[in-house]
Structures are given as C-alpha cells and as structure tokens.
Amino acid sequence: MTVENLSTLVTEASDPRYADLDRMSVAELAQTMNDADATVPAAVGRALPQIVPAIEAAAERMSRGGRLIYVGAGTPGRIGVLDASECPPTFSTPPELVFAIMAGGTGAIVNPVEGAEDDADAGAASVDQAAIGPLDTVIGIASSGRTPFVVAAVRRARERGALTVGLSCNVATELSAAADHGIEVEVGPEVLTGSTRLKSGTAQKLVLNMFSTIVMVRQGKVYGNLMVDVKATNHKLRERAIRMVRTIADVEREEAVHALDEAGYDVKVAAIILRRGEDLAAATARLTSAEGRLRTALEED
C-alpha cells in the first residue's frame, strides 16, 4: 500500500479540533483528551452487531477444546499480550489456552522491532509455529486494518481452518476481508494525529475485555459475577476467595476459611463442601462431573 493510500485512513487523519494542542494548558489538554476518550464506548457499542457473533463462535470452539490467540504488532500486539496474560490469574487457565503472538517476538513487547509489522511471511509462519487448527480462534488486531504481519497471520489461520476475527478501527479494511468476522470500531481521528495507542488502543482493549471475559463466562469460569476460578496467590486474592465462599455458601468467615484450607483454596470445591455437606473427595468428583461448572454442581441432584 502506498503512502498516499495510507493517508486516507481515518486512523491517520488529522482532526482540526486539535490543531492547537501545543498551545493548550495542562487543564485544557486533560479535558480535551477526556472528552475524546468518552466517545470510545459508544463506538464499541455501534460495533456490537459485529462483536457478538464473533464471541459466540469463539466460545463454541473453545468449549470443544480450542484456544484463543491474539495476533498484533506494536500497540495492538501489546494490548493482546496484556489481555492474554490476565487469563491465568483470573480464570486459572493454562497459559497455552489464551495467548498472544507479537510481531517481532516477545522482545518487541518492550522494545520496538524495526520492520516487524511489515513482515507478512513472518506473520504466516507464526501461525504455523503455533500449530493453529480448526478448533482455535485467531483474532488479528490492527488499528489501520492493513498491517501485513497481522493480515498474513489471519489469512494463514483461516487456511488452517481456524475461526478468524479481524479487529480494526477503520472501515472496509483488508483485515476484515481476510477474516471470517470483521470488527471495525470507528473511533475517528486521534487527538494526537496517528497515535493509535489512544482512542484506538482503548477501543481494542474494551473489545478484548469482552472476548476473554465472555468466553470464560461461557466456559463456566464464573458463578454469578464472581471469579470463582481465581488463583488465590496473595493476601488480597485469598481474602477475595473467603468473601466469595461466604457469599455462595452463606457461612461465617471461620467456616469459609476452614473449607478453603481443606480444598487448597479452590473456591468451587470449598463452596460445594459447604453447600452440599460433602467431603473433599465427593465435592471434587461432583465438580468434575459438572465439567467445572459450579452452578451445575450445586444445583443438580
């Protein structure tokens, strides 16, 4: 794509409302940026008809053993890494279930790798190296919707039978055309021209929040709005686990702590022990029979 064509992208456009950015006071700059950021959730809302079916399809594939993989370069890649890295502590998922592929490799997360985003061959090769298959979902993230590494990765993933999603902040993009599901969140020009780590990055994080959270909800990783699969690895999370068990089983703190100690701080098993009056072995077996879904384990005869 030529420079002239790139200049027509909305994410590269200059908004005249922000032409005097360098003349504004700190207060004016903060208000301007806050006003601009406030428009992002509405832009995501307008894209929900594209987002919902993509999440539904991803959840269905994961329920059959598939993985969720983000692919990106630069800021979108780092946002993918961030969202993926939060899944193990939040939902106790193995690191290989939700992960990110970053153009330029893991080193590019901190230090940009020159030209990595333009390497289409590397994008396709990264999908082969990850052994992407028909049960997997690959989400390519590119603000412009034309990043060669990402587009090539999505095309290769689709060739390998994976469900593919293209997330961008422009319209009628090459990435959308390459994917099974195109999600185009039109946030408009950035306050700082071309700096897509701003509104575009915020929009991408909101969409990925939906993907990872909703997919995990559909896998039975929550009970109500409680993250019952959380790994209680520090004081804050242990206290959260205690509160969750107290809420689910309607017991006092001492009973919740005792059950959690017995269950190795597995919130689900502890809740079953208390609600069903079962020992550790029976509670564990019940949860396994319910495929890890606490509501099913608590309610079934």
Residue 111 token pair? 């230090």
Candidate list 60, 96, 114, 117, residue with the active-site label? 117
Contact indicator for 228, 271 with CB cutoff of 8 Å: yes
Q: How far is CA 140 from the centre of its chain?
A: 12
Distance from C-alpha of 31 to C-alpha of 171, rounded to nearest angstrom: 28
How many C-beta neighbours within 10 Å does residue 18 have?
Answer: 18
Contact indicator for 248, 275 with CB cutoff of 8 Å: yes
Q: For the sheet containing 98-102, what is the strand order? A: 98-102, 68-72, 137-141, 163-168, 181-184
**Which residues is 137 bridged to in the sheet?**
68, 163
At 258, which amino acid appears?
A: H
Distance from C-alpha of 202 to C-alpha of 236, rounded to nearest angstrom: 27
- Which residues, at least 6 apart from 162, have a Cβ–Cβ distance to it below 8 Å? 132, 133, 134, 135, 136, 137, 138
299 catalytically annotated? no
Distance from C-alpha of 293 to C-alpha of 301, rounded to nearest angstrom: 14
Name the region of 224 (left: φ>0; alpha: ψ -120 to 50; beta: rest): left
Distance from C-alpha of 299 to C-alpha of 301, rounded to nearest angstrom: 7
117 catalytically annotated? yes
Candidate list 86, 255, 262, 278, residue with the active-site label? 86
Q: Supply the residues annotated as catalytic.
A: 86, 117
